Chain A
Amino acid sequence: MSSLQALQQQLLQAVLSERTPATLPLVRADGIADTGSRLEVYRHGYRVRLRDALKQEFPGLHHMAGAQFERLLDKYVAAHPSEHYNIRWYGAGLAAFLDYARPWRDRPALAEMARVDWAISIAFDAADEPSANIAELSAVAPEAWPGLQLSLQQNLHVLDCRFNTAAFRRAADQGGKRPRLRRLQQPRQLLVWRKDSSVHYRQLEVDEWQALGAAIRGEPFAALCAQLAAYHAQASALPRMVALLQGWLEAGLIRGWSFA
């Protein structure tokens, strides 16, 4: 190992260590400040920067965890050295951390909340994608519709939620009061996507998720309609599908289509 490499590794360990070492032979001593307080500038700065970066990305989690948020961040920072050059990506592992680390794993709403915050965060600067409009789609011949396969935006995320996590994020975004945590009667899906430059999120209706899920899997239009048939009388399934499709187009969820 080169002596430069050895120096960098030792200094890195000093910054990551739980307590600032009082001395480190590689650091030059002088009368201005002791080695411990010199190292502490770096040790403290590292933690502050990571915590600040996380605070920006996880406003919903902040709202939900309340007074425990700081401690939660400290534990994550202590357990996870940053590995990406861009500090913005440091939060990528927070939800998984909350899944397994005590005591947070006993409150599964926190990990779920972290997933929602993170999906919103990454949608913000995901790649730009084209989106289809209604006029283009209405030019498709009627007999071609059953075999039509929608292609959806790649930056769209669907998250399974067992709690009213979206309400916490909404309260955080709008400066609202902290809602009461509720377990949903059955898991529901939250759709996160970006239209132009704004990120949106909303809970999907149960039937909508069945149709959208089929579209995401690449199933043809006829199969989407079949999904809805389980929820609607025969006469109303097709109008419902048309209404959903209009909504998806307006929200910019659809990139284009092809034929099976």
Chain B
Amino acid sequence: MSTSTIGLPYLGYGLGLRTEHYQDLLADPGQVEWLEIVSENYLVNGGLPLIWLQRFRERFPLVMHGVSLSIGSTDPLDEDYLSRLARLARRIEPAWVSDHLCWTGVQGVNLHDLMPLPYTEEALEHVAGRVRQVQDRLKRRILLENVSSYVSFADSQLSEWEFLAAVAERADCLILLDINNVHVSAMNHGFSALDYLRGIPVSRVQQFHLAGYEQGEHLIIDTHDAPVSHAVWDLYIEAVRRFGRVSTMIERDDNFPPLAELRAELEHARTLAEPLLRNAA
């Protein structure tokens, strides 16, 4: 077991920063070691968002997590977005910058959703080229996160994990593995979550997300608005066994509970992972 060989720091156990918890998090950060911000919330010209961000910057290591890069889209990369993103990164010097392995729109229309890609050689070449473009622009490696999906494509020649691993290798980028999303997509498409973990190169995984989902009639829906499920905790244990010490956070996007509840979930992650990591050391 080893940490990432690619050289970004290990940050420990963190949370996604949400306005609902601003006050509480500054008053009592507890064991929260780092914060992930949603980049788009701070790509603004001024005002309150940037004042808050500065306060957190002084207290916590930060990482930037975006939802609008649309790395898989066949539309050109959004220059305005990229330059704002680069400016924010210069301003707060995050430990790293991430987005999703998906597309969010095409023909100028934005669906504001993480749309899945077909796992083809064509898509692989397209995405890898754009990741290199973005990395040149930001002058750093980025992390790409696996998304939850509800459709898969007749054209796909690779499994999702083969595709993700190949993008990371070909573009020389890192992986943000969302354990919940692995579970959701495994259930929705009938593949094995363990096969998925085994297919991801250990040295590329820089961060874990843990989150909750909602059980629909036939599909499970990644709402990120519920506590982490048993199945996802079990998968997290397997992920820690395989990937070792990886910066881990609880990601809640809606239906916000009191901060104490999220901190308790984060401590649960620590309680599960630390004994495994000590044994392996």
Contacts and interface: CB of A to CB of B under 8 A. Distances in A.
Interface of A: 2-5, 7-9, 11-12, 15-16, 25-28, 30-35, 37-39, 41-42, 45-46, 49-50, 81-88, 124-129, 194, 197
A215 B132 CA distance: 50
Contacts of A194: 47
Contact of A126 (B45, B117, B217): B45
Given A86-B40, A124-B48, A126-B45, A12 B118 contact: no
A49 B150 CA distance: 17
B110 A82 contact: yes
B106 A8 contact: yes
Given A85-B70, A125-B48, A128-B47, A3 B109 contact: no
A118 to B, nearest CB: 15
Given A28-B151, A33-B218, 5 more contacts: A28-B152, A32-B219, A41-B216, A83-B108, A85-B81
A32 B123 contact: no
A55 to B, nearest CB: 13
Contact of A85 (B40, B126, B190, B221): B40
Interface stretch (B153-161, B165-173, B174-182, B255-263): B153-161
Nearest to B154: A28
B111 A37 contact: no
A210 to B, nearest CB: 30
Contacts, number: 135
A26 B152 CA distance: 9
Contacts of A34: 218
Interface residues of B, number: 49
B78 interface: yes
Contacts of B107: 9, 12
A7 B68 CA distance: 19
Contacts of B155: 3, 7, 26
A34 B117 CA distance: 19
